[in-house]
Structure 1
Amino acid sequence: MFSNKEKFKEVFLNRLEMLCGKSFAESTSRDHYQTLGSMIREYVSNDWITTNERYMATKGKQVYYLSIEYLLGKLLRQNLLNLGIEEIIQDGLEDLGIDLSELEELEPDAGLGNGGLGRLAACFLDSLASLNLPGHGHGIRYKHGLFEQKIVDGYQVELPEQWLRSGNVWEVRKADLAVSIPFWGKVEAREENGRLVFHHLHAETVTAVPYDMPVVGFHSDTVNTLRLWSAEPAQFPIFKDILNYKRRTEAISEFLYPDDTHDEGKILRLKQQYFLVSASVQSILRSYRKQHGSLLHLHEHICIHINDTHPVLVIPELMRILIDDEGLDWDQAWHITKNTIAYTNHTTLSEALEKWPVYIFQPLLPRIYMIVEEINERFCHDLWEETPGDWDRIASLAIIADHFVKMAHLAIVGSFSVNGVARLHTEILKEREMKPFFLLYPEKFNNKTNGIAHRRWLLKANPKLSELITDKIGPSWTSRPHELIDLLKYENDNSVLQQLKNIKQENKQKLADFIYQQMGVPVDTSAIFDIQVKRLHAYKRQLLNVLHIMYLYNQIKDDPNFQMVPRVFIFGAKASPGYYYAKKIIKLINAVADKVNHDPRVGDRLKVIFLENYRVSLAEKIFPAADISEQISTSSKEASGTGNMKFMINGALTLGTLDGANVEIHELVGDDNIFIFGLTAEEVLHYYRKGGYDSIEYYHHDQRIRQVVDQLVNGFFDGVHNEFEPIFDSLLEENDQYFVLKDFASYVDSHRKVGEAFTDVQRWQKMSLNNIAHAGYFSSDRTIKEYARDIWGIQPLW
């Protein structure tokens, strides 16, 4: 089908007529995209079938990765790259007058994720397949995903994301593999054949229908599977109010992260979580039984990995099946379960550790709650045996306490492995957030520093830079990313450094053209492109960034002699719909942009851009164009970050705190190739423990701080009244819990150093090359090899 471009064109034209029922002359770009996508899916189907047959025949250990998010991005070009047929397709389409890039633009970003958690899951699937490892993903097929973000008058407005409007060419519906999920109802225990059997009665049953997507390995015969579950009404519902039942059911897979401000939203979120794990476990066990029969040795052949706490109900669900359906006793079932489940923690924020009110959990999932209660009782009994009378310890470790089910506690107790996602993050878990559990289970805790799919974020997103790298060190870095270190032999090669500069300039021009097309704002490509793109959250400190921009604006206005290297500050971020404070920050950024960008006295020295609806395909335009990567979270708060790695591999320099994986980036590139500022994690944790920080002191003693903070409430922003009082109060009345004012002076000083370095063109390009060379360590290939070796115990099967 794709052996040469002539054969491709012949098949393409025939397929177009059959699929669309029209001639090529009458066809549209959408027809061309659908035709090409269906051809590629058919092309990989043989390898997809063969991969599954090999897994079945060899009976080797497999891993199933459960995640509430998968931020896949667009798959057309990525699949062509991985299959090694991009050039043939591009040339063949060109002969037909079709631009492959235009077809790629027609593909929507799959609306299956929000931020780093979902993108990490997508990167992991890419590496599993590319390394020929037996690993599959399970998630939810959200109809609308998170939301499409629009900025209207500076405010975030959420619209339904319509990524499935024209269908999804990559998926295959498997209605014959649908399973049933029960909610509500009651549990009745009956003695049958000498054992107690539990029956879930009067349940509201939902059907979970799987949609499978192929995960194509890079230049590999391996095609793994991402299985996404869609919620549909049961075939024979027992409810009189069918319409309401249908709405309730379909809502389960309609939106990612429904607003849980009220109980209705909380119930829906918990439904989503159980829906995901119950459908996935039933599916996994059905395949396993075909291979192995009895479930007694499940843990020897299967690892189920949960990406954060959202899928932690897999623990009681597996227990339920082993006890209720398989007839195992508690101890047998518990041994199998806790040796099957592995857990990744993604946060150091205690307030972000998931917990569910018992009054919601128990009636919605009555049998699951009984099992969680039993797990808790047995766990607390063991704690009592170990330290009799220590009620405080038991209360702090209990899975159910203070009328809440604590999901992270359940995840730790019910798994054999607990890993953090950066070395600093793991140490904080062990020494602070989860110290009591670490003391209890030291053998469970380990670190797996995050990684990124370097083939997408460099080979796909930055083809010119990839060509330069291949020209200098050969092509094998695409499969052995550690070989990027060989670029260091060119750090004094003026020709290579100039090519690096030219590529960056070309990428900056592309982004500038996009900004002008989208927003009508011209930006100077000779300026520093300083970029912060990530989820909008107080601890990520977009506020520190924007206060510094206000300071620069004040300097330009107040001091005729003020000199600065021109800057274009670019933001991209979505705020959770119910996150009031984060939405205020978005409004502030846009208010500053409006003031700065329309002031003729500022000119091209300073521009502020907020790119709406940040997503993977937009990120692929942003990362290659960045000069500075803003990674400025409060130290100890960011688990890892992966945006920092994507910027790094594209030659941007990190301006950041010693937080998350920034610490490991700093160790690799050294002091001379990164800009570090602010409090360390140890200092932040000391302030939290001992106190001693008073934000008002910084407000009174630093005129720069006082000016920008006052401007939040003194009428500085035309037509905005009392809009930013919550931000003002968070900094002063609430004592600035993320140390924005404490780190302000250090941040300003680091920006000054950035400007000095940027004016030394040779030095800057050396720094950039150094970052690219050391970025191979942060490939998800390395991360997945560590998971496979240290946690999952899986091997490449060919």
Structure 2
Amino acid sequence: MQKMDVSQFKDRYKKKFQERFAFNYENATKQEQFVALGHLVKDLYSSDWKETVDTYQENKQKQVYYFSMEFLPGRMLKSNLLNLGILDVVQEGLAELGLDLDEVASGEMDPALGNGGLGRLASCFMDSLASTGLPGNGNGIRYRYGLFKQKFIDGHQIELPENWLRNGNVWEVRRENKAVTVRFGGQVSLEPDNEGNMHVTYHNTQNILAVPYDTAMVGYQNGTVNNLRLWSAEIPYGEEYLFPTEEERNGVKQITEYLYPDDSNYEGLLLRLKQEYFFSSAGVQSVVRYFKQLNLDWSYLPDKIAIHINDTHPTLAIPELMRILMDEEGLSWEQAWEITKKTISYTNHTILQEAMERWSIDMMNLLLPRITQIIMEINRRHIEKKTPLYGEDLTNRTAIVANGEIKMANLAIIGSHSINGVAKLHTNILINHTLHDFYLMYPNKFNNKTNGVTMRRWLQISNPGLTDLLDETIGTEWKTNANDIILLKAYAEDKEVLARIDAVKLENKKRFAKYVSEEMDIEIDPNAIFDVQIKRLHAYKRQLLNVLHILDRYQYIKDNPGVDIPKRVFIFGAKAAPSYHYAKQIIKLINAIAEMINNDSSLNDLIKVVFVENYGVSLAELIIPAADVSEQISLAGKEASGTSNMKLMANGALTIATMDGATVEIYDYVGEENIYIFGMSNEEVQKLNAANSYNSREIYEKNPAVKRVLNMLIDGSIPGLEDEGQDIFDSLVKYNDEYYLLKDFDSYINAHKQIDKDFRNRETWNRRALLNIASSGPFSADYTIERYADEIWKLGAQREPEDLI
């Protein structure tokens, strides 16, 4: 890409705007100003995009294809400007044109193509692949609406369509010439030819056209531009007559309409399965088509292609690759199976065996008859091969097919060459408990790859004040080598640097307070402790424990008028799955408490509760730099990794946490004096589970603080609650508190009391914040991706044809 100065940018922007809109940019909406800028930026990287793709193919480089049901990229304008090295030029140029970059950037929709950590991780990985110069591609679904838009009506979560494509998408390119056909339903027959070879014939299938939309993944100032391919379901050209009714045409649209349709009924489950096969099949077909252009023997496929499945959603890529290699390319089962296993690797994101995906054989056979045949044969051969080696019991426990269901995690493990967890604790739990049977069979397949986050978005873009501070104290090498952030430790006793950290944090808190005032009509004090819990709403993540602390603090303040404790603002961001009734009840409870607390003048603003609507990447970019306290309070042994913990520590928040997920590794890096650990360990949780001796009602009866807080849920103390308070109370007392909130309650409250004390000593607090920032480098996604590339995908070690001569 050719560099521009400010004057050149201004000329090009004015020209681009007039080309697209034929009037003056000054009279445009923010969305129109953004569109013109987006197209200008796209022009700047287009030649690098083509050159990167051409270079990979000419050099026959091994490439990884990252299959994920979710990608949560966030707004891409600033990211692209930063990675192109022109963020400052564009900011200055727009200012001279009378425009503000932040306002122009707000014209971009935030694509809600994910539901949390899984999708955000996939997007961080796309950024890191390009920024480390590695040949990597994303493969997913171009949801028309994505995840729902969250609204609060009378405190209840209401789901609205999030039409992120209503004004088009500047960054994507439709590739009709790369479309493929995906088959559903019908019947399959195996028929011999004249030489006795069996051929597969399909009858009465419903054929859907998968059309790819490609988006450039721009590397950080290195000229590499990789590709994210998202598929859209359409009626095949010229076959509209096969879909005569509106219902049939809508059935095609539905495949790529919504992320995670309601799967509480048969129709929703069937649609979910369609989605999973649709993007897996389209992606595998696309990969195979690329490989055939290399004109190599099929045995080289694993040397040129790595397919990585992000959780079990894309597991059907395994039988799909088998289908193509056997049915379309004529390979034997044995050849196809070896190639498939060597090509595919799998990341597990789930600790509980019972939470892993399963599909009804009958549903699978109805929708995907040939894929079902292949899965059944994989299972048959697995049992036949492993029974003599490991015995019937162990082999049957690892079977893919059991009790009328297909276990997708089992298929993913058996059909791949690598299985990784996403934090050391998570991987140890998989090896020793959840997937222990598989570990006995395939010990060499298992490995750990602790998740990471991209510091470009979560520091450089989200927190320019902290970025400037780092540049001026430790230089700029940390931007390409995040481990260099550790150099900040040398300034832990520098009062001037500590004061600057405090000032940067205060400015970020003022920015968020302004948003809360303007958007939510709630006034919060930037000098208060900003206590943040931002993640998917789920019982195991224990937002409810946070709520119990808020109620305990509320009662303490009411009992002690004029008490001298730091002000605290509790900030939540979370969506609940539409069919997750209990999680939605907790949302209603938090909103009811917020209404009660925020309007109680007797509290003297010592507590405020802010629950932001429609939490997503853009709101995270506003909240995370403003956070003082990071809530990572899942029951130990339940959170696979967590990534908000990494983003928050990198921005100088101190973590309050159980020893769960990647927080265990954060603890190792920051040291126990710079983190607030409470609650049971995973080992203690496992012992309590095994003893089956937990009695939450006994805690309720014997602990006055617990009893008083829980009684507030049912005695009318909280206005606006109906059945929610009683149901939540019952979950904790009557149904024995599945996630041990009451067991960890006292420990949690005491940790927060310590935070109150420590926050008053600003210098000590800022030193701890500095040490958290300085310890965040190892959690850069760049390092995570390099470990995947070296240890799983083998992107650096390629077997070339001449090696075998």
Q: Same fold (TM over 0.5)?
A: yes
Alignment-derived partner of residue 333 in structure 1: 336
Question: 2:156, 2:587 within 8 Å by CA — same for their partners in 1?
Answer: yes
Residue identity in the other structure for 1:228: L
Which aligned pairs between 1:184-333 and structure 2 lie closer than 5 A? 184-192=185-193, 193-235=195-237, 236-237=239-240, 239=242, 241-333=244-336
The reply on whether 1:80 has 2:114 as its aligned counterpart is no
Q: CA deviation at 1:564?
A: 2.5
- Asked if structure 2 preserves the Cα contact closer than 8 Å seen for 1:711 and 1:717, the reply is yes
Match of 1:523 in 2: 524
- 2:703 corresponds in structure 1 to 702
Q: How far apart in 2 are the matches of 1:182 and 1:722?
A: 46
Contact 1:133 1:795 in 2 (8 A): no
Q: Does the 8 Å contact 1:134/1:796 carry over to 2?
A: no
Matched, 1:605 2:615: no
Task: Write the mapping of 1:652-667 to structure 2, written as runs, cut at 5 A.
Answer: 652-667=653-668
Give the conservation status (yes or no) of the 8 Å contact 2:365–2:372: yes
- Is the contact between residue 715 and residue 721 of structure 1 (CA under 8 Å) also seen in structure 2? no
Distance in 2 between residues matched to 1:92 and 1:496, nearest whole Å: 31
Q: How many residues align?
A: 795
The separation in 2 between residues aligned to 1:248 and 1:154, in whole angstroms, is 34
Provide the secondary structure at the position in 2 that maps to 1:378: helix
C-alpha contact (below 8 Å) 1:490/1:496 kept by paired residues: yes
Change (3 A) 1:525 1:240: closer
Q: CA deviation at 1:560?
A: 3.6
Matched, 1:552 2:587: no
Paired residues of 1:144 and 1:163 also in contact (CA < 8 A): yes
Cα pair 2:30 2:106 within 8 Å, conserved: no
Contact 1:70 1:121 in 2 (8 A): yes
Shift of the alpha carbon at 1:101? 1.1
Distance across 2 between alignment mates of 1:611 and 1:748: 24
Q: Would the alpha carbon gap of residues 482 and 387 (structure 1) be closer, same or farther in structure 2, given more than 3 Å must change?
A: closer
Which structure 2 segments of 5+ residues have no match? 799-805
| CA–CA distance in structure 2, aligned partners of residues 82 and 699 of structure 1 | 54
**1:334-371: CA deviation from partner (whole Å, max 9, x where unpaired):** 00001100000001022320101112111001000000
Amino acid in structure 2 at the alignment position of 1:207? L
- Residue 696 of structure 1 and its aligned partner are, at CA, apart by 1.1
Cα separation, partners in 2 of 1:574 and 1:57, compared to 1, 3 Å? same
Q: Secondary structure at the match of 2:742?
A: coil
Distance 1:323 1:267 in 2: 26
Distance 1:29 1:436 in 2: 56
> C-alpha displacement at 1:58, in angstroms?
1.1
SS of 1:383's equivalent in the other structure is: helix
State whether residues 112 and 616 of structure 2, in contact with CA within 8 Å, keep that contact through their aligned partners in structure 1.
no
* 1:771-796 Cα deviation digits (max 9, x unpaired): 00000000001101110111011139
TM-superposed CA distance for 1:98, in Å, is 1.7
Q: What whole-Å deviation, never above 9, does each CA across 1:35-63 have from its counterpart, x for those lacking one? A: 11111111101000110111011112110
Judged with a 3 Å threshold, the aligned counterparts in structure 2 of structure 1 residues 677 and 254 are, in CA distance, closer, same or farther, namely same
| Alignment partners' CA distance in 1, 2:598 and 2:353 | 39
Q: Is the 8 A contact 1:482 1:776 kept in 2?
A: yes
Q: Is the contact between residue 205 and residue 237 of structure 1 (CA under 8 Å) also seen in structure 2?
A: no
1:362 and 1:562 map into 2 onto residues whose CA distance is: 66
Q: Percent sequence identity over matched residues?
A: 48
Aligned with 1:419: secondary structure? strand
Structure 2 counterpart SS, 1:791: helix
Find the aligned partners of 2:573 and 2:711 in 1 and give their Cα distance. 26
Q: Deviations over 1:589-642 (max 9, x none)?
A: 011111111111112101111001000000000000000000000000000000
**Number of the residue aligned with 2:98:** 97
Find the aligned partners of 1:351 and 1:558 in 2 and give their Cα distance: 45
CA distance in 2, matches of 1:615, 1:796: 38
Unaligned 5+ runs, structure 1: none
Query: Residue 369 of structure 1 corresponds to which residue in structure 2?
Result: 372
Is the contact between residue 451 and residue 781 of structure 2 (CA under 8 Å) also seen in structure 1?
yes
Give the alignment's TM-score, normalised by structure 2.
Answer: 0.97
Deviation digits for residues 369-407 of structure 1 (CA, Å, limit 9, x no counterpart): 00000001111112222244x3x3333211010111100
C-alpha contact (below 8 Å) 1:80/1:86 kept by paired residues: yes
Q: TM-score, normalised by structure 1?
A: 0.98
State the Cα distance separating 1:734 from its structure 2 match. 1.5
Give the superposed CA RMSD: 1.3
In 1, are the aligned partners of 2:592 and 2:720 still within 8 Å (CA)?
no
Using the alignment, how far apart are the partners of 1:796 and 1:648 within structure 2? 35
Relative to 1, partners in 2 of residues 1:796 and 1:587: Cα closer, same or farther, differing over 3 Å? farther
SS in 1 for 2:99: coil
Q: Which moved more, 1:621-630 or 1:729-738?
A: 729-738
**1:31, distance to aligned residue in structure 2 (A):** 2.4
Which residue identity lines up with residue 277 of structure 2 in the other structure? Y
Q: Decide whether aligned partners of structure 1 residues 24 and 700 sit closer, same or farther in structure 2, where only a CA change above 3 A counts.
A: closer
Q: Is the 8 A contact 1:530 1:570 kept in 2?
A: yes
Aligned 8 A contact 1:79 1:216 in 2: yes
Q: Give the deviation of 1:739 after TM superposition.
A: 0.5
> SS where residue 142 of structure 1 aligns?
coil
CA offset digits 1:102-138 (Å, max 9, x no partner):
1101101112111000000000011110000001101
Letter in 2 for 1:173: R
**1:644 equivalent in structure 2:** 645
CA distance in 1, matches of 2:390, 2:281: 36
Look up the SS of the partner of 1:610 in the other structure: strand
Rounded to whole Å, the distance in 2 between the matches of 1:256 and 1:483 is 38
Contact 2:189 2:201 in 1 (8 A): yes
Q: Which residue of 1 aligns with 2:803?
A: none
SS of the residue corresponding to residue 257 of structure 2 reads: coil
The corresponding residue for 1:379 is 382
Cα distance change of structure 1 residues 387 and 13 upon mapping to structure 2, 3 Å threshold: closer
Distance 2:753 2:29 in 1: 52
Instruction: Return the letter of the residue paired with 2:23.
Output: K
**Do the aligned residues in 1 keep the contact of 2:190 with 2:200 (CA within 8 Å)?**
yes
In 2, are the aligned partners of 1:132 and 1:796 still within 8 Å (CA)?
Answer: no
Q: Which amino acid aligns with 1:578?
A: S
